[in-house]
Structure 1
Amino acid sequence: MESLNHTLFLWLNAPKHPNAWVLALAIFFAKHLIWAVPLAISIGWLRGHEGTRKAMLVATAAGVLGLLINQAIGLAWSHPRPFMIGLGHTLIPHAADSSFPSDHLTLWWAVAFSLLFQRGQRGGGIGLALAGVPIAWARIYLGVHFPFDMLGAIAVAAVGAWLALRAVRWYLEPGYQLAAAIHHRLFGKLIALGWVRA
């Protein structure tokens, strides 16, 4: 399996001197697009109704659970990144920590799967899930992940989203009440102006 992982990596990894436009696009997908997740959750909370806000809280819980599972996997089994074993070309700096599963993709797909699993949010979930594909490609292309790291991220993200939905009765209502109270305290003036939903 590791041999297949290496072969697929070398097939997808950038050449030593990549096209400048492809490199710029890959860097955008790999390093910057991840900020769309907190931005989308924030917009959903600030402009959405109660159902949307609760969906954003569940999506946040799914992302956090996915990242916690990743940490546990990394502590139990440390898998080197391609550059740690001298494989391929690495075009962005990255810490020499465990590669499996990808934290970027786990967070992204955990939020996507959470929205897919929730009625009324499936369109956003499909869009996020599809946008995760170029992120996965970019992380491999730039040399910081293996293809199997992305498959692991899909599995962990699905588990995180499932657990977050299974446990809603334990955290959603108190979490929503606390978040709503903080929201009113922070955005009271903007709510009065009608810029932010109450």
Structure 2
Amino acid sequence: MNALNLTLFQWLMAGSQPTPWVLSVASAFALWGSWLCAGVLVVALWRHRADRAYLCIVAALAGFASMASHAIALSLNAPRPFMLGLAPSYIEHAGRGSLPSTHATVMFMVALAFLLRPSLRRLSVPLLLLAAITGWARVYVGVHFPLDIAAGLLLAVAIAGLLAAVQWLAHRFISFPASHAGRARDNEKTAAASFWRHP
């Protein structure tokens, strides 16, 4: 796994003489990709009024994902590429642990949460693409290994899976009684109408 990780990193990284425009694009995404993701979440909160409660839960889960990722990275304390001298760091970054990537964790989690909601699903594809590009960018500029991004994706899948499980349980055990009560009311109305039509 480590050999594959290093091979992928050497293939994706900028190196000592990067193409200037590619480096500019990568640096922009590495620094601002997560803010674009947050912007999409804010716009969705403003435009999708029916989904605001769900989006507030997604925002809370994004905070939880960030804290969980930071805690895991702190405990593992995996060095970053620039700390090992494998590549220069083209953006300023602290030397704390890099596994998993917090950017990847939060951004993929938000994208997957949008994917789970039919009314928000059309926004999930650009969010997934944004998360993937940001992950590549942070490898390119020398602050992450590909394994860090993959670990962030796995953690995001786990958190989104938890959200999906809670949604399923809520639908199964909360919506069912409500729909059952609704059917009972409809049956009562039908019976009442039948009663008045047929004295």
TM-score by length of 1: 0.78
Q: Deviations over 1:31-73 (max 9, x none)?
A: 01211122122222222222x2123113213312221221231
| Equivalent residue number for residue 186 of structure 2 | none
Q: How does 1:42-191 map to 2 (within 5 A)?
A: 42-50=42-50, 52-167=51-166
Matched, 1:12 2:7: no
Residue ranges of structure 1 left out of the alignment (5+ in a row): 170-198
CA–CA separation in structure 2 for the residues paired with 1:150 and 1:108: 11
Name the amino acid aligned to 1:15.
Answer: G
CA contact (8 A) 2:33 2:131 kept: no
- Structure 1 equivalent of residue 38 of structure 2: 38
Of 103-112 and 159-168, more deviation after overlay is shown by 159-168
RMSD (Å) for aligned C-alpha atoms: 1.7
CA distance in 1, matches of 2:108, 2:58: 10
Any unmatched runs of 5+ in structure 2? 171-199
Partner of 2:179: none
Higher relative contact order (CA 8 A, sep 6+): 1
Distance 2:123 2:49 in 1: 15
Larger radius of gyration between Structure 1 and Structure 2? 2
- Whether the 8 Å CA contact 2:100–2:148 is kept in 1: the answer is yes
> Which letter maps to 1:64?
G
Q: How much identity, in percent, do the aligned residues show?
A: 34
Aligned length: 168
**Residue 165 of structure 1: how far off its partner (Å):** 4.2
- The aligned counterpart of 1:25 is 25
Q: Is the 8 A contact 2:108 2:153 kept in 1?
A: yes
Deviating beyond 2 angstroms after TM superposition, the runs of 4 or more aligned structure 1 residues are 162-169
Instruction: Specify which structure has the higher proportion of helix.
Output: 2
Query: Normalized against structure 2, the TM-score is what?
Result: 0.78
